[in-house]
Amino acid sequence: MQTIKQEVMWAKFVAYKFLRKVLGSNNIVADFPSSSETMFEPEETSGASSSGQASRISSGKHIADDQGKHKIFVGSWNVGGVAPPDDLNMEDWLCTHNDPADIYVLGFQEVVPLNAGNIVLGFENRKICCRWNSLIREALNNSISKHVHEEDKVGESYKGSVSVRFCLHETSFCFVCSHLASGGKEGDENNRNSNAAEILSRTRFSRGPLRNLPRKILDHDQVIWLGDLNYRIYLPHTTTRSLVQKKEWNTLLERDQLKVELMEGHVFQGWREGMIEFAPTYKYYQNSQVYYGCDKKRKGEKKRAPAWCDRIIWFGEGLKQKEYSRGESRLSDHRPVRAIFVSEIEAPSNSRRLGRFNCLKDHLEECFNEKVPCNVRTSFYSE
Neighbouring residues of 140: CB distance < 8 A, sequence distance ≥ 6? 60, 94, 96, 100, 104, 148
Q: What span, in angstroms and rounded, lies between the C-alpha atoms of 30 and 89?
A: 31
* pTM for this entry: 0.71
- Calculated CA dihedral for residues 95, 100, 104, 108, nearest 10 degrees: 10
Contact assessment for residue 109 and residue 116, using Cβ atoms and an 8 Å cutoff? no
DSSP class of residue 59?
B
pLDDT at 47: 35
pLDDT at 98: 78
Reply yes or no: is the peptide bond before residue 283 cis, omega within 30 of 0.
yes
Q: What span, in angstroms and rounded, lies between the C-alpha atoms of 376 and 383?
A: 22
Can you tell me whether residue 8 is helix, strand or coil? Answer: helix
pLDDT at 213: 82
Q: pLDDT truncated to tens, each residue of the chain (383 aa)? A: 444 434 334 444 444 444 444 433 333 333 433 433 332 232 333 333 322 222 233 433 434 444 589 999 999 999 999 999 989 989 889 988 878 999 999 999 998 776 655 654 445 567 788 888 889 888 888 754 443 333 333 333 337 799 999 988 889 999 999 999 999 999 999 999 999 999 999 999 987 665 678 899 999 999 999 999 999 999 999 999 999 999 999 999 999 999 999 999 999 999 999 999 999 999 999 999 999 877 666 766 777 899 999 999 999 999 999 999 999 999 999 999 999 999 998 776 655 555 555 655 555 565 556 554 443 333 333 33
pLDDT at 45: 32
Contact assessment for residue 108 and residue 126, using Cβ atoms and an 8 Å cutoff? no
Q: What span, in angstroms and rounded, lies between the C-alpha atoms of 161 and 107?
A: 10
Amino acid at 369: N
Which element (helix H / strand E) includes 104?
A: strand 103-109
Q: What span, in angstroms and rounded, lies between the C-alpha atoms of 195 and 179?
A: 9
* CATH class of this structure's domain 67-346+356-381: alpha beta
In terms of C-beta density within 10 A (0-12 exposed, 13-18 middle, 19 or more buried), how is residue 363 classed?
A: middle
Q: What span, in angstroms and rounded, lies between the C-alpha atoms of 253 and 262?
A: 12
